[in-house]
């Protein structure tokens, strides 16, 4: 009898437990987010980095297969990426944003302001995430998706990246609008930076407030820090402060009695820079103060001028006044049936089941200059259910909102790019 032995072998198959990818990691692998991070990491609070901006946008244009032109009508470069429409003779659409950002004091930030870090909640932090680098990338990614989906538009689309907006545009939008470069673009309508909404309703700005920025310098009696001098520069500053606070309180009352988001009904005023002093025991002979005003839509220029004249008179002799920025006119873009571009935006919003509320911009954008040329322009950024951190510490953007905003721009661009009747 033959004994048959069976040998049972246990095969141990190695396996790993797959952990779910975190929300932050999902975003870090998203190419649109990666492009935004790369753009945020260029510190454009320093104009010396504008050449890096040009390199960045040349690379983006090459990847998307579109031509890019770089102009220098002023000191700094203007980048224009063009997607030609099927009817290039029609007035074009300008998708505008600015490349520069305001400075950031890193010590007050929870994330380095030029790092593009993403937290566990899916928020990306960095200077320019709201104002306005995320907008630039959304324009780019929307066009990229439309091209990949074989969409054609009748009107030519220009993605414009403009420098120097934060300083008033004297080396950016202002000289560009006077150039032959701009005239050749044949712009019929523009979209530019918009506001961050704390609710589910998005804002569309059709008019900007008029900026007045005053540089006032007071000269007075100096001396030893232990003495009591008369007519000092600091006393003159105090007289001005009293007037500024009084006007501010008046406007605050108007704001309190206005409807929600009626930014155009009141003026704002802030003293943003005060410089004085040379030593702890020396009374300064000179005080310099910079005042930033944004005028209500119905503010009368002659009344504002009279108020400023009164300030200068009150502070007495040896007071110098310089206007760092002064815009007396800010035209409005129509938001009714007479504006086919606005109608197209509204139709796109209906199709995507989103609500867009027209408002006056509480600040000032480059669109002021474009509207004053008679070109209709709307400020729009698809940022909703977010805290506005424009020019604030810990500026951020929700990446859910950022990616959804790309889809929203796709819908809007398709509509405005095919507007036929103007």
Q: Choose, from 165, 171, 366, 395, the residue flagged as catalytic.
A: 165
165 noted as active-site residue: yes
Q: Cα separation of 224 and 116, whole Å?
A: 49
Q: Cα separation of 395 and 125, whole Å?
A: 6
Q: Choose, from 100, 164, 166, 366, the residue flagged as catalytic.
A: 100
Half-sphere exposure of 219 (CA within 13 A, CB side): 5
410 noted as active-site residue: no
Contact of 211 with 260, CB cutoff 8 Å: no
Q: Where in the sequence numbering do the catalytic residues fall?
A: 100, 165
């Amino acid at each position: 009898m033959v004994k048959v032995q069976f040998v049972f072998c246990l095969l141990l198959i190695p396996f790993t437990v797959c952990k779910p990818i975190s929300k932050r990691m999902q975003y870090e692998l998203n190419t649109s987010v990666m492009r935004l991070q790369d753009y945020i990491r260029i510190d454009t609070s320093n104009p010396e980095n504008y050449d890096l901006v040009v390199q960045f946008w040349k690379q983006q244009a090459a990847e998307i297969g579109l031509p890019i032109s770089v102009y220098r009508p002023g000191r700094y470069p203007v980048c224009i990426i063009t997607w030609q429409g099927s009817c290039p003779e029609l007035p074009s659409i300008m998708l505008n944003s600015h490349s520069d950002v305001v400075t950031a004091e890193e010590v007050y930030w929870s994330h380095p302001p030029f790092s593009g870090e993403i937290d566990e909640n899916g928020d990306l932090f960095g200077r320019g995430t709201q104002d306005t680098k995320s907008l630039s990338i959304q324009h780019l990614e929307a066009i990229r998706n439309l091209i990949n989906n074989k969409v054609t538009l009748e009107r030519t689309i220009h993605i414009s990246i403009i420098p120097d907006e934060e300083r008033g545009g004297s080396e950016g939008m202002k000289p560009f609008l006077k150039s032959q470069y701009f005239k050749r673009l044949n712009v019929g309508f523009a979209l530019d930076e918009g506001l961050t909404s704390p609710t589910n309703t998005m804002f569309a700005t059709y008019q900007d407030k008029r900026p007045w920025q005053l540089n006032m310098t007071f000269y007075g009696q100096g001396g030893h820090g232990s003495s009591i001098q008369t007519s000092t520069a600091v006393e003159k500053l105090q007289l001005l402060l009293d007037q500024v606070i009084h006007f501010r309180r008046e406007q605050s009352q108007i704001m309190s009695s206005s409807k929600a988001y009626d930014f155009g009904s009141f003026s704002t005023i802030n003293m943003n820079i005060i410089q004085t002093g040379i030593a702890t025991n020396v009374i300064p002979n000179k005080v310099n103060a910079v005042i930033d005003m944004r005028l209500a839509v119905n503010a009368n220029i002659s009344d504002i001028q009279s108020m400023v004249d009164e300030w200068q008179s009150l502070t007495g002799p040896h007071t110098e006044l310089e206007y760092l920025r002064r815009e007396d006119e800010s035209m409005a873009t129509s938001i009714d049936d007479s504006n086919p571009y606005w109608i197209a935006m509204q139709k796109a919003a209906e199709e995507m089941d989103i609500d867009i509320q027209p408002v006056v911009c509480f600040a000032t954008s480059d669109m002021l200059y474009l509207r004053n040329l008679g070109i209709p322009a709307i400020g729009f950024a698809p940022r909703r259910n977010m805290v506005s951190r424009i020019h604030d510490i810990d500026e951020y953007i929700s990446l859910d909102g950022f990616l959804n905003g790309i889809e929203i721009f796709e819908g809007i661009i398709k509509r405005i790019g095919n507007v036929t009747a103007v």
